[in-house]
Amino acid sequence: MSNINQTSTKRPRWKRAVALATALHILSYTMLPSVGMVAAEQAAQKEVKASTTPATTSAKSTEAAKNMGASLKTKLNLDVSSAIIVEASTGQVYAEYQADTALPPASMTKMMTEYIVMEKIKAGELSWDTVVTTTEHASLTEGSRIFLAKGDQHTVEELYIAMAIGSANDATVALAEHISQSEKQFVKLMNETAKRLGMEDTHYINSTGLGKADMPEKYQPTGNEETVMSARDVAKLVRAIVVEHPEFSKYTTIQQHKFRERDTAPIINLNWMLEANKDVTNFRQYAYEGLDGMKTGFTDEAKYTFAGTAERNGMRLITVVMGAPTKAARFTETKKLLDHGFKHIELKQVIGPKQVVTGAETAPIKSGVETEVPVVTEKDVAFVVDKGAKFDAKNLKQEVKLIPEDQLEAPIKQGQKVGTVTYTYKGTAGEEQQTVNLIASEEVEKGSWWRLFFRGIKNFFVDLFNSIGSLF
């Protein structure tokens, strides 16, 4: 009896132990996915939070530059109504004075016509050899001109040169009306383009920069508005030209040009600061090393204006002066700005194009022959820094954001965007930020059904044992 009783007592204990182990095993299967889901949800919330956090913009740097305005005017003894210094490749403002004040720009207006002409040529809607027939409006337009008569025919390139170096108003109107059939319609295009370029303090009433009263009466717009631009907007326009159309200097560096064979004198470039003028007696004192553009202007209301650009040691600066008192002063004041910029700042590269970012060498992908794809930068990143400054952990931060794996499904093409990297630099002028795309440096084909099936099984057990191990 006693033996029978002992056996009956042990069996239930053994069964209970097996049942408990089985229950725990099953429970782990049911709970682990939930744990994984919770972890995934938390990660997703972090990703959403990170992606919705407003990025720091260059406003701080711009604000710092604004705060330096009064001291800039005093330090450089500037005799202008407004001024600005901008590095071309980054668009970073180094220094400014009253740069958001909307003022009459005079013939600097023509740079928008220049930009639109080059845009149309780039798009294949126009060519340099296209023949333009002079309209009545163009023939009646006075001021700086090449004396076009109604019906005269010249190529786009001939008229462009007359506009760019001689500031010919009639050539400008002829181009505008050829593109849009009327200057009124062209002005609409100018204002739309200004808005696209972020020129917030600009309004055009014509293609030339003439005051309304100086336009042919028959073609004057209604209303009392005049053309205005801020120095910042002028710089934005110059930057669009030099960055998007590097061929600009082929025309802006022409020192003189004979428009017609019968003309007794050539058109002389009104930009006295061209580097090539160092060999011209009358302009030698104004010639500036590296300067190859851009546009002068004058009206009684605007006084003398000039948008200049020069490149030295791989850095291109853009300067704008408005409201200078004399023809020569617009160049001497520009020299002060350029000297100040080239003396105190340099362009320093953080990372080059097609380079690997430390900490983001690969991006995880779904359904590929490989589970990751090598990653590089799409283009370079550089900041304007004080000369001699160095990047370190205190002044330079890096933030990588990869596209979630479930949204990167093979096949992956070479050059395909897989994320971004944002660099934030804090210098003496404030905080600047640049974001560049991260792209796949090679192709990854879609994996076969068998490969993906066995990878799924492998991943399941790896995750399972990792999760069990984490419980102890």
Mean pLDDT by runs of 10 across the 472 residues of the chain is 40 45 44 39 38 34 60 92 96 95 98 98 98 98 97 98 97 98 98 98 98 97 96 98 96 96 94 97 96 97 98 97 98 98 95 94 80 92 94 94 88 93 90 94 71 58 66 62
82 is catalytic: no
Q: What angle do CA 102, 240, 221 make, to 5 degrees?
A: 45
**All residues at 6 or more sequence positions from 440 whose CB lies less than 8 Å from its CB, including other chains:** 363, 373, 374, 375, 412, 413, 414, 415, 416, 418
Q: What is the CA radius of gyration of the chain?
A: 33
460 φ/ψ angles, rounded to the nearest 5 degrees: -60, -50
Spatial contact of 272 and 252, defined as CB atoms under 8 Å apart: no
Q: What pLDDT score does 32 carry?
A: 41
Q: What pLDDT score does 472 carry?
A: 62
How far, in Å, CA of 163 to CA of 171, rounded?
Answer: 6
Retrieve residue 275's tokens: 């580097």
Spatial contact of 173 and 144, defined as CB atoms under 8 Å apart: no
Interstrand relation of 345-351 and 303-312 (parallel, antiparallel or unpaired)? unpaired
Q: What angle do CA 263, 268, 273 make, to 5 degrees?
A: 175
Phi-psi region of 198 (alpha: psi -120 to 50; beta: other; left: phi over 0): left
**All residues at 6 or more sequence positions from 386 whose CB lies less than 8 Å from its CB, including other chains:** 344, 345, 346, 427, 428
343 is catalytic: no
Q: What pLDDT score does 117 carry?
A: 98
Q: What pLDDT score does 426 carry?
A: 93
- Residue of 61, 110, 207, 303 marked catalytic: 110
Q: What angle do CA 227, 103, 200 make, to 5 degrees?
A: 75
Q: What angle do CA 80, 270, 256 make, to 5 degrees?
A: 165
Q: Find, among 265, 244, 331, 260, the residue nearest to 295 by Cα.
A: 331
Spatial contact of 155 and 175, defined as CB atoms under 8 Å apart: no
How far, in Å, CA of 171 to CA of 177, rounded?
Answer: 10
How far, in Å, CA of 273 to CA of 287, rounded?
Answer: 4
> In Å, what is the CA distance from 103 to each residue of 6, 242, 279, 459?
106, 23, 34, 66
Q: For the chain, give the number of residues.
A: 472
Q: What pLDDT score does 459 carry?
A: 63
Q: What pLDDT score does 412 carry?
A: 84
How far, in Å, CA of 357 to CA of 329, rounded?
Answer: 47
Beta partners for residue 229, in sequence order: 103
Q: What pLDDT score does 46 carry?
A: 39
Q: How many CA atoms lie within 13 A of 56 on its CB side?
A: 15
pTM of the model: 0.80
Q: What pLDDT score does 68 carry?
A: 64
pLDDT in tens, 273-293: 999 999 999 999 999 999 999
Q: What pLDDT score does 317 carry?
A: 98
pLDDT in tens, 243-268: 999 999 999 999 999 999 999 999 99
Retrieve residue 272's tokens: 């006295």
Retrieve residue 207's tokens: 């293609």
Spatial contact of 69 and 98, defined as CB atoms under 8 Å apart: yes
